Amino acid sequence: MIPISVVVVTKNEEMNIMEALESVKDTAEIVVVDSFSTDKTLEICRRYTDKVFQKEWQGYARQKQMAIDMAGGPWVLILDADERLTDSLKKEIPAAIKDSRYAGFHMPRKNFFLGKWIRHGGWWPDYTLRLFRKDSAFVEEREVHEKVIVRGGTGYLKSPIEHYTYNSIGDYLKRMDIYSALAARELIKDGFKPGVFTLILRPFFTFMKMFFLRQGFRDGMHGLILAMLYSYYTFLKYVRVWEARCISE
């Protein structure tokens, strides 16, 4: 057994969750916090663990922190339902957590998009901090793009998590609608006021950064489409802040 607790937050993930849990079935503990799925998610999860809890949705950060609090082991790894632990990563983890210099570890993430592993545009190595000592970390309270804050040193692992991202352009657009609304709420709380140049230049710079500076062009049509989609997401995020301010004034 790999001596870590894996925590997963779910809602209606029957298409993904079996592969995710299969990839961590040899860990010491799996904790699932589900937001009242109406598909077969719970049935699948209970094949892998008896620690399946149902809780009302409280936002990404709070839901993940709730799952962490329920974990029994000293080391916790957050796994999303569309992610998989690779065999090489599972071999690397036991030795890494014995190193007393570190309270957490970043790991690279391989992102799969429309039949292709994306290698550029900022999508690789896409380091994310997912493994940490439970007593030395917490999930930052944010509307979206939450991250783990670790009190102590952090290291880097070599082996990746595999991330099976949006399964279609429609899936991306559906999630972009949700994420852009949450990101706009975060900006409004911070007092951000977008102007004309924000709406014009920030989407443009998002495209330029992904496609040229981070060499998304090397992923061909996939890289072009991703840069355009992220540029549109950037525009939508800021225009929603502008919209909210128009309504409130």
**Could you give the CA distance from residue 115 to residue 222 in angstroms, rounded to a whole number?**
10
Residue segments in the chain with a per-residue pLDDT below the cut of 70: 249
Q: How many structural domains compose the chain? A: 2
8 shares its domain with 113 = yes
pTM here is 0.95
- The confidence score (pLDDT) of residue 64 equals 98
79 shares its domain with 190 = no
- The confidence score (pLDDT) of residue 113 equals 97
**Could you give the CA distance from residue 40 to residue 13 in angstroms, rounded to a whole number?**
8
59 shares its domain with 91 = yes
End position of a domain, from candidates 136, 164, 192: 164
56 shares its domain with 17 = yes
Q: Note the pLDDT tens digit of each residue in 136-154.
A: 999 999 999 899 999 999 9
The residue range of the domain holding 74 is 2-164
55 shares its domain with 150 = yes
CA angle 188, 193, 197 (to 5 degrees): 135
End position of a domain, from candidates 147, 164, 181: 164
- The confidence score (pLDDT) of residue 236 equals 97
CB neighbours of 50 closer than 8 A, spacing ≥ 6? none
* Residue 187: closest CA among 244, 246, 231, 249: 244
CB neighbours of 185 closer than 8 A, spacing ≥ 6? 143
228 shares its domain with 156 = no
154 shares its domain with 184 = no
197 shares its domain with 101 = no
39 shares its domain with 127 = yes
CB neighbours of 80 closer than 8 A, spacing ≥ 6? 8, 9, 20, 163
Tell how far CA 18 is from the center of its chain: 18
24 shares its domain with 128 = yes
Q: Note the pLDDT tens digit of each residue in 143-190.
A: 998 999 999 999 999 999 999 999 999 999 999 999 999 999 999 999
CB neighbours of 109 closer than 8 A, spacing ≥ 6? 83, 124, 125, 126, 127, 128, 160, 161, 162, 163
- The confidence score (pLDDT) of residue 248 equals 81
CATH number of the structural domain spanning residue 125: 3.90.550.10
133 shares its domain with 25 = yes
End position of a domain, from candidates 126, 144, 164: 164
127 shares its domain with 194 = no
Single-letter code of the amino acid located at 26: D
